[in-house]
Amino acid sequence: MPRYMPITGIDCTPATLLIDTEAPLDVLFETADYRIRTVTQLLENIAFRSDISSDTVVLSDFCKMMTIALRDGCDVMDVIGRRLRLQAAE
Tens of pLDDT, residue by residue over 30-89, are 999 999 999 999 888 887 776 666 677 778 888 888 999 999 999 999 999 999 999 999
Determine the pLDDT at residue 50.
66
Residue 3 has pLDDT above 90, yes or no: yes
Higher pLDDT, 11 or 80: 80
Q: Are 75 and 7 in contact (CB under 8 A)?
A: yes
Could you give the count of Cα atoms lying within 13 Å of 24 in the half-sphere of its Cβ?
3
What gap in Å lies between CA 69 and CA 9, rounded to an integer?
10
Rounded CA-CA distance 24/30 in Å is: 10
d(CA 76, CA 82): 10
Strand (E) or helix (H) holding 86: helix 56-89
